[in-house]
Chains A and B, each alone.
Chain A
Amino acid sequence: DADVTQTPRNRITKTGKRIMLECSQTKGHDRMYWYRQDPGLGLRLIYYSFDVKDINKGEISDGYSVSRQAQAKFSLSLESAIPNQTALYFCATGTGWADTQYFGPGTRLTVL
């Protein structure tokens, strides 16, 4: 089984809908991250969490919210989806003083 899993893998939705992307990990890492990838722009950090009670905004948090339900689960919500949130979303976990990060397979979200 994969160490970092994301559901759904693909989602098409309409403008104004509420969407939740889920991330689960079996690596036992405290740190978890949500990134978004747009063509030609690399990955940008949306939110990150050092533990269940510690959640921080990243570079592009506007329009997004997160919930760390447990050490192993970190969910990203789009309260009212808009077309420019169409992107590839990645969850990652981090560990150690060097913070090697391990990525999930990604969720491709399309907002019409």
Chain B
Amino acid sequence: KQEVTQIPAALSVPEGENLVLNCSFTDSAIYNLQWFRQDPGKGLTSLLLIQSSQREQTSGRLNASLDKSSGRSTLYIAASQPGDSATYLCAVRMGDSSYKLIFGSGTRLLVRP
């Protein structure tokens, strides 16, 4: 059974710092991996999606990497801003036809001005 873990559960950094969020998964037979952002009182917003054949994806100040063989993904946020404060969730889709996402429990990020 696939298990997705995110460490740390919470992170507080000063504005301007570069930071890395971690996601690990136990079964490497994934189809893709997504990083989401969740703001209080709002739904999830997809940030980046990495296919199993890809190593990384970039969008603005965000860079996500995937190492399928070791069961790890990282989300790198450059020059963090207070507006980046949110909970970040990773989710994997397995290589079957179910389209089901398996989520980690998230990292709650606070960027201090």
Q: Which of A43, A44, A92, A100 has the most CB of B within 10 A?
A: A43
Residues of A within 8 A of B (CB): 4, 31, 33, 35, 40-45, 48, 50, 56, 58-59, 90, 92, 94, 98-106
- Complex formed: what's the CA distance from A50 to B99 in Å? 9
How many contacts between A and B, using CB within 8 angstroms?
Answer: 58
The answer to whether A45 and B100 touch across the interface, beta carbons within 8 angstroms, is yes
**CB nearest neighbor in A for B101:** A101
Residues of A within 8 Å of B32, CB to CB, are: 98-99
The answer to whether B34 and A44 touch across the interface, beta carbons within 8 angstroms, is no
The answer to whether B44 and A103 touch across the interface, beta carbons within 8 angstroms, is yes
> Is the C-beta of B83 less than 8 angstroms from some C-beta in chain A?
no
Residues of B within 8 A of A (CB): 4, 9, 32, 34, 36, 41-46, 49, 51, 89, 91, 93, 98-101, 103-106
State the main secondary structure of chain B at its contact with A: strand
The answer to whether A105 and B103 touch across the interface, beta carbons within 8 angstroms, is no
User: Can you pick out 14 interface pairs between chain A and chain B where the beta carbons lie within 8 Å of each other?
Assistant: A35-B103, A40-B9, A42-B4, A42-B105, A43-B91, A43-B103, A45-B100, A48-B98, A59-B100, A94-B99, A103-B45, A105-B43, A106-B41, A106-B42
Min CB–CB distance A64 → chain B (angstroms): 16
Which residue of B34, B43, B46, B104 is within 8 Å of A90 (Cβ)? Answer: B43
Which residue of A40, A56, A100 is within 8 Å of B49 (Cβ)? Answer: A100
Q: A94-B99, A105-B43 are in contact. List 16 more A-B contacts (CB 8 A).
A: A40-B105, A42-B103, A42-B105, A42-B106, A44-B103, A48-B100, A56-B98, A58-B100, A59-B100, A101-B44, A101-B46, A103-B36, A104-B43, A105-B41, A105-B42, A106-B41
